[in-house]
Structure 1
Amino acid sequence: MQKYADYIEEIEIDSLWSGKKHIRWTLDRQVNILSGINGVGKSTILNKVVRSLSQGGEFPSHSLKGVRLKVCPDDARWIRYDIIRSFDRPLMASDSISKVNTALVTELDWQLFQLQRKYLDYQVNIGNRIIETLQGGEADAAEKAQRISQPKKRFQDILDDLFTETGKKIVRSENEIRFSQMGETLAPYQLSSGEKQMLVILLTVLVEDNKDYVLFMDEPEVSLHIDWQKRLIDLILELNPNVQIILATHSPAVIMNGWIDRVTEVTDITDK
């Protein structure tokens, strides 16, 4: 049976930048913020770790591609993880992807398209759990069922709050993500880059379904309003308290809500 780690305790990378550097980074259970000047290697470190993992999250006990992970519990060999890169660039394979949906123009559009499917699966899963709970006949079954549905409701409330200045509200009667604005219905692909980006991040976290996950984010502040940057980490942890955040950033706003002690400079974890 696959044994999944709760979180990563330490990342060690050998021979980074053609053998010139060695990285050893001891991580916090919840929030880890990698900082440094342009070109110092923040994104390189994150990408190196992600590339060392299989698509399903398996990692070997020995060094792979110069990467060693110490996890908790230490005998786990799998990690549930997500990676978010928030640059809203044009799709490289636009011809083939446009055959799936002509509305998909950028990388964030493609991410949203894939997340829509995960969102449908998530709703089926929580729906089944609610039915099972109600049919169990326990005295507090209704209360338990409400708790199961609470993360989805909170996700919807958060989006309504974030998008309030533009008058957008999530349509709660539909299974797919849709927004209403001044009597019109909008698909996620019609949002601004910043709105798409925040939706990608929060939807990714929601469909993790409160499981232990490692969330890698490379400069998630790109295109986000400064107020959204300040709230980002808190909103992620609210939607999934069991997530471990590992992010690289340039923005001081991301750490303003009490996260400055979770910042690590690349130079502090680098040995020559």
Structure 2
Amino acid sequence: MQKYADYIKRIEIDSLWSGHKHIVWDLDKKVNILSGINGEGKSTILNKVEKGLSPGGEFASHALRGVHLTVSPAEATWIRFDVIKSFDRPLMYAEIANKIEENGVNTDLDWQIYQLQRRYLDYQVNIGNRIISTLQSCAADAAAKAQKISEPKIKFQNLIDELFASTRKTLIRTKNEIRFLQTEEELTPYQLSSGEKQMLAILLTVLIEDNQHYILFMDEPEVSLHIEWQERLIDMILELNPNVQIILTTHSPAVIVNGWTDSVTEVSDITDQVEGKK
């Protein structure tokens, strides 16, 4: 049986950048923010960890591709994780673009949202089945338990409506797929602004992990986000799923302003020159 980790306790990377540096990063179980000047290696560290995991989240007990993870519980050999990429670039893969261009999927963020839509449908089926099963149990508190199952989805919908209120967009709650109403026009998520797509992708990713313990990697998630959204980002993620461990890189002071200063680690503080390593 697969044993999944609740969170990562330590990341070690051997001989980063052609053997010149060694990374040892002790992590908090909730929020971890990596900061540093351009070119210091923030994104490289996250990419190394991501590539050290199999697509399903399995990781070796020994260093794989120079990456060693210490997790809790210690006997776990799998990690649930998601990766948020923030740059809304045109799609580079013609075969993907050709398959889905009729849906308006043109950028990396569009493709992320397209894939999330499929997972969102599965999530809704899952919670729907759980609600039915709970109500059919005829327990005295069945209705209260069923309502609790639906709370994260309702919280997600309310957050999106609140965030998008300034552009008069609201989620259409009667549809299975993500759709918006702006005045009287129905919009797909691919018609949103880059900042709106970015926020939708982040919060939808968090929602469909369905309150499980998992790790959310984010590389400069503040790109395209309004300053007020940056300030609320971490709090909103933890509100949707308090079991998530956040590992992110950022250049923005706004991301940490709401009480997350102590969660910031400088790249230079976790880096040793191999030559000078004890």
* The two structures share one fold, judged by TM-score above 0.5: yes
In the alignment, what sits opposite 2:168?
167
How far apart, CA to CA, are the structure 2 residues paired with 1:266 and 1:100? 39
Give the C-alpha shift of residue 94 in structure 1: 3.6
- String of CA shifts for 1:191-241, please: whole Å, max 9, x gaps: 000000000000000000000010000000000000000000000001110
How far apart, CA to CA, are the structure 2 residues paired with 1:94 and 1:163? 32
Give the C-alpha shift of residue 181 in structure 1: 0.4
In the alignment, what sits opposite 1:34?
34
In the alignment, what sits opposite 1:67?
67
How far apart, CA to CA, are the structure 2 residues paired with 1:229 and 1:268? 25
Checking the alignment, whether the CA contact within 8 Å between 1:94 and 1:105 is kept in structure 2 is no
- String of CA shifts for 1:33-61, please: whole Å, max 9, x gaps: 00000000000000000000000000001
In the alignment, what sits opposite 1:260?
261
In the alignment, what sits opposite 2:219?
218
In the alignment, what sits opposite 1:8?
8
How far apart, CA to CA, are the structure 2 residues paired with 1:42 and 1:169? 36
- String of CA shifts for 1:71-97, please: whole Å, max 9, x gaps: 000000000000011100000014542
Distance 1:95 1:66, change over 3 A: closer
Checking the alignment, whether the CA contact within 8 Å between 1:130 and 1:148 is kept in structure 2 is yes
Q: Which runs of 5+ in 1 are unaligned?
A: none
- 1:89 has 2:86 as partner: no
Which amino acid letter does the alignment assign opposite residue 128 of structure 1? N
How far apart, CA to CA, are the structure 2 residues paired with 1:80 and 1:96? 25
1:1-272 equivalences under 5 Å are: 1-102=1-102, 103-272=104-273
Which amino acid letter does the alignment assign opposite residue 142 of structure 1? A
How far apart, CA to CA, are the structure 1 residues paired with 2:267 and 2:7? 21
- String of CA shifts for 1:152-199, please: whole Å, max 9, x gaps: 000000000000100000000101000000100000000000000000
How far apart, CA to CA, are the structure 2 residues paired with 1:43 and 1:96? 25
- String of CA shifts for 1:220-270, please: whole Å, max 9, x gaps: 000000000000000000111000000000000000110000000000000
Superposition RMSD on alpha carbons, in Å?
0.7
The TM-score normalised by the length of structure 1 is 0.99
Give the C-alpha shift of residue 69 in structure 1: 0.3
How far apart, CA to CA, are the structure 1 residues paired with 2:96 and 2:51? 25
Corresponding residue SS for 1:224: coil
Checking the alignment, whether the CA contact within 8 Å between 1:35 and 1:264 is kept in structure 2 is yes
Report how many aligned residue pairs link the two structures.
272
Checking the alignment, whether the CA contact within 8 Å between 1:216 and 1:245 is kept in structure 2 is yes
How far apart, CA to CA, are the structure 1 residues paired with 2:133 and 2:98? 40
Corresponding residue SS for 1:210: coil
How far apart, CA to CA, are the structure 1 residues paired with 2:192 and 2:85? 18
Checking the alignment, whether the CA contact within 8 Å between 1:4 and 1:79 is kept in structure 2 is yes
Which amino acid letter does the alignment assign opposite residue 69 of structure 2? L
How far apart, CA to CA, are the structure 1 residues paired with 2:199 and 2:100? 24
Distance 1:96 1:4, change over 3 A: closer
Which amino acid letter does the alignment assign opposite residue 197 of structure 2? K
How far apart, CA to CA, are the structure 1 residues paired with 2:37 and 2:96? 37
Corresponding residue SS for 2:156: helix
Q: Which runs of 5+ in 2 are unaligned?
A: 274-278
